[in-house]
Structure 1
């Protein structure tokens, strides 16, 4: 089993749902991405460069989808969280029902254009 798969399967069922859903959306929007296990979390690489990571936060109860060039994104700023980070902005989801599919796909597509 790959380290990424092991990591995801160790998460709570709620986090697993979110992680598997986000992975499927990223892979639909960017079929040539590669999901690696970097810095202790699942990290998508696109064109051999960091694209976005998936980081469950057990204490606060959300999954952080951090975009490597998040501060360059212009659209959907009301959904993106910077929180004292220099380059990364992220989307945060507390459950599967809280994921606005159109926003997630829009952010992914804008990020791939950077």
Structure 2
């Protein structure tokens, strides 16, 4: 009987220690996976931030600075009526100065800054 109780006690210890070992291994495994997840999230965030910074820097490099682009931009800026609030009267803001500087042709057709761009 003493042998049976010793065997039973050893079995219980073995089962208990096996459960504790499994619990510790599971806890360590979860910790490692959580750590890898946090590290990969940080790396991905840094890479995405760098990609956005590089992309926005490249956009500024595509600015057209040849004489034709500068002349066209100047023409558009000169057509703006800076005295008008764009939210109040957008058409007057965009074409106001151009309308003041260009008269309606004698054939009676209307004349507008947008029509000239389309006809060209």
- What range is the shorter-chain TM-score in? under 0.3
Identify the structure with the greater strand proportion.
Answer: 1
TM-score norm. by structure 1 comes to: 0.20
Identify the structure with the greater helix proportion.
Answer: 2
Give the greater-gyration-radius structure (CA).
2
TM-score norm. by structure 2 comes to: 0.20
